[in-house]
Structure 1
Amino acid sequence: MQIPFRSIVVFHAVARAGSITRAAEELRVTPSAVSQQIQALELHLGTALTLKVGRNITLTEAGERYFQMIGREVEHIADVTQHVRGVRTATTLTVRAAPSVSTKWLLPRLGSFIEAHPDIELRLDATNEPTDFSKENIDIDLRHGEGGWPGLFVESLGAERFRPVCSPAIASPGSLGPEDLLDRLLIHSVKSQMQWPRWFAEVGLDPARRWRRVLFDRSHMAIDAARSGIGIALESELLAWQELAEGSLICPVANPPALAMATQWIVCPHGHLRHRKTRAFLEWLRKERDSWAASSLTF
């Protein structure tokens, strides 16, 4: 039986793009030609693979299974074909991430991803604005929040431990008690999900007076302020890992409470997980996350 290779390639492009029009632009053919190839493949397989939803298409259950079975093979054939032709192809991966996790956690690690995937051109968009995936050309989002985004793929970067941190010029490690912090200038990261009142409540203190404080809009600013000796910040070990590892930040409180929560999330539409570039970045993120989690236990 003759295998309809052309129709399979067209179906792969449609499933990946989520749109007949976008697939047609990628393949440099007309939308009607794409529709004809999909219909021919469905006739060949004896089952419907796609459903039209507004201007876009979605895969049927059979279409999802079929795409999962052929996806990597089609991409591998395309890569090998380009390699034999001597053509170095590149595809752009656009990542959106909040400014603090971009500068403090992602950027110091990106070199290993770039080196491992020379065919992927990376674009990093650092903003706190959540992505509207239906309108913006963003492949994957590293988002700050509580993790409740229905209809999207959501995975945590891991539980972060929060503790007081400051420059060793301000205090020695473990030299202060919780009550001593009330007499110090405290750095507040305004948008952080972990705030000083919760920390004081955890150690059994109910400050009777307003403590001295300085406020910053971003965690990366609060971390840099603490490192420069301005005061004591309450920060995540995920964001302050580099400063803690090199010793430019220390915890001045002996036996601080183990306050932990997940605040950074990997987010994208489920359909984006079909893309090789998104899968590659997600697999890399998971390895980096696990490596960070293991190393953070030594801080």
Structure 2
Amino acid sequence: MKIRDLPPMATLRAFEAASRLQSFTGAAEELFVTHGAVSQQVRALEAQLGVSLFVRKGKRVTNTEAGQRYARKIAAALQQLADASDEVAEQGRERRLVISTLPSFAARWLMPRIGSFIEAHPDIDLELRASTELVDLQREGVDVAIRHGSGHYPGLHVEKLMDEYYFAACSPNFNDGILPATPRELIESPLLHSSRDESWRAWLDRAGLHEVAEPTRGSRYFDSTYLLDAAIAGHGVALVRHTIALADIAEGRLVKLFDIEVPASFALFFVCTPSRLALPRVQLFRAWLLETMAAFQAEQQRIRLSAAQAGGDRRAAP
């Protein structure tokens, strides 16, 4: 077949996605088109080639033997096109470093520290994309992601940065400065909740309050930044992530209540595509991030010891 007679690119992409996902619906969602559009493109491709590429079984589809062979070759060809496009596009953006992470982590951890990286590497233009959505690094041109998750990201380079944990905290001025003296007193206070982070259940169990039902009353915030701001403003007691709250603890805007910490169900990871790992700008950022994370963990240990000492002093006070 001559190049001018090849099926349209949109048709080949629809076929590849449907073959990989074994679903027209999944392919439609991935390509942001309708189920009918994928089905129509596949029928047109089958008509052009004169062979059946899928066996339809209700809502599920599987490749025929010919479809399997064709899918392997089309996937390889499309990947070659993607790699070639990346190589050319890279020449035009070799100075730009694109980083993706959560808004709360960007605002509370990364932005207060990133200045040292910018000063050390003025030739690199930083682009920070903060979003709660899980981005496709390859498709969206992201160099590095700092992800909160399980670390299971198939096909990507993944390095664990640190574990995450939660603790209860509030403003030192909360309740006119009369802070809860025991965990049981704490649950009688206004509690603040996060729609995305851990619930209070694990903290209550760690505090020995197994019989206490999961609290449902109190304000709820989708973004952890707003949760922290509400706690700092004295609106109640929040269960906060240590990575974004320790600066507020160190500077006295928040007080850690009790020496009770709950491990998070996720950790922080450095993530990038294997092809971008070797890029000089990515290697420079990775080295800076690992060094800065190590310094943060040392600072974190100091703050934990200081908070434990302060808690002991409060308990010993008459």
Partner of 1:165: 169
Contact 1:161 1:237 in 2 (8 A): yes
SS of 1:263 mapped into structure 2? strand
- State the AA in 2 paired with 1:93: L
Change (3 A) 1:241 1:153: same
1:148 equivalent in alignment to 2:152: yes
Rg (Cα) greater in structure: 2
* Structure 2 unaligned blocks of 5 or more: 1-80, 304-318
Instruction: Determine which of 193, 198, 205 is the counterpart of 2:202.
Output: 198
Offset at 1:280?
0.6
Offset at 1:128?
1.4
1:207 equivalent in alignment to 2:216: no
SS of 1:240 mapped into structure 2? helix
Partner of 2:223: 218
Partner of 1:41: none
SS of 1:235 mapped into structure 2? strand
Instruction: Determine which of 9, 17, 23 is the counterpart of 2:87.
Output: 23
- State the AA in 2 paired with 1:284: W
CA distance in 1, matches of 2:269, 2:220: 24
1:272 equivalent in alignment to 2:276: yes
Partner of 2:131: 127
Contact 1:142 1:267 in 2 (8 A): yes
Offset at 1:259?
3.6
- State the AA in 2 paired with 1:169: N
Could you say what the CA RMSD is over the residues aligned between the two structures, in angstroms?
A: 2.6
CA distance in 1, matches of 2:128, 2:280: 18
CA distance in 1, matches of 2:284, 2:228: 30
Deviates more, 1:204-213 or 1:281-290: 204-213
Instruction: Determine which of 120, 142, 154 is the counterpart of 1:138.
Output: 142
1:178 equivalent in alignment to 2:146: no
Instruction: Determine which of 109, 112, 116 is the counterpart of 2:116.
Output: 112
Deviation readout 1:41-85 (Å, 9 max, x if unpaired) = xxxxxxxxxxxxxxxxxxxxxxxxxxxxxxxxxxxxxxxxxxxxx
Contact 2:169 2:231 in 1 (8 A): yes
Contact 1:99 1:128 in 2 (8 A): yes
Change (3 A) 1:93 1:173: farther
CA distance in 2, matches of 1:133, 1:19: 14
Instruction: Determine which of 103, 106, 114 is the counterpart of 1:102.
Output: 106
1:2-13 matched pairs, under 5 angstroms: none
- State the AA in 2 paired with 1:216: Y
Contact 1:166 1:250 in 2 (8 A): yes
Offset at 1:112?
0.1
1:228 equivalent in alignment to 2:233: yes
Change (3 A) 1:291 1:25: closer
SS of 1:157 mapped into structure 2? strand
CA distance in 2, matches of 1:173, 1:145: 37
* Structure 1 unaligned blocks of 5 or more: 1-16, 29-88
SS of 2:129 mapped into structure 1? strand
Change (3 A) 1:168 1:27: closer
CA distance in 1, matches of 2:131, 2:256: 29
Offset at 1:90?
7.1
Contact 1:94 1:139 in 2 (8 A): yes
Offset at 1:263?
2.9
1:276-295 matched pairs, under 5 angstroms: 276-295=280-299
CA distance in 1, matches of 2:160, 2:178: 30
Partner of 1:239: 244
Offset at 1:277?
0.4
Change (3 A) 1:261 1:293: farther
Contact 1:163 1:236 in 2 (8 A): yes
- State the AA in 2 paired with 1:221: Y
- State the AA in 1 paired with 2:223: R
Offset at 1:157?
2.8
- State the AA in 2 paired with 1:271: S
Deviation readout 1:76-116 (Å, 9 max, x if unpaired) = xxxxxxxxxxxxx9700011111010000000001000000
Q: When the two structures are aligned, how many residues end up with a matched partner? A: 221
Partner of 1:83: none
Change (3 A) 1:271 1:22: closer
Contact 2:202 2:262 in 1 (8 A): no
Deviation readout 1:172-225 (Å, 9 max, x if unpaired) = 698521111221111111111x32011101222121584532110011111111
1:50-89 matched pairs, under 5 angstroms: none
Shift >4 Å, 4+ stretches: 24-28, 171-175, 208-211
Deviates more, 1:98-107 or 1:130-139: 130-139
